[in-house]
Amino acid sequence: MNITTSEIKYLITMGKNGLHNVTEIAEALHISKPSVSIMIKKMNLKGLIERENDYIRMSKSGEKHYNHYSELYDRVKNYFYNRNINNNIDNYIWLFISKINEQDLKKLLE
């Protein structure tokens, strides 16, 4: 399955913050609730999340992707912290994850 950077960001944000509804996710990502609703529908169609009324949870596939990318996210975050790069660190992390292929990213972090 091809997973987008935005979907990774949603999964990591949901997983690390225990978020389970559109309002919480929108507030955490600083985006509108309609934008979150659109992404949640796309992620539901891909089988990354499951919805039950207003409650949103990761599917088994979503959890697998969350675990994988959460580890990469943490490793990239540590990479920047170890180099005293602390300002806008999340922006750098998403840029790295989205722009560098995964094999090269893993080599860089070793």
Tens of pLDDT, residue by residue over 25-65, are 999 999 999 999 999 999 999 999 999 888 999 999 999 99
Secondary-structure class of domain 5-60 per CATH: mainly alpha
> CA-CA distance, 33 to 24, in Å (whole number)?
9
Q: Looking at the DSSP assignment, which residues form a beta bridge with residue 58? A: 49
Q: Can you give the pTM of this predicted structure?
A: 0.82
> CA-CA distance, 98 to 109, in Å (whole number)?
15
CA 37 to chain centre: 16
Rg (CA), the chain: 14
> CA-CA distance, 69 to 11, in Å (whole number)?
9
Domain with CATH 1.10.10.10 in the chain: 5-60
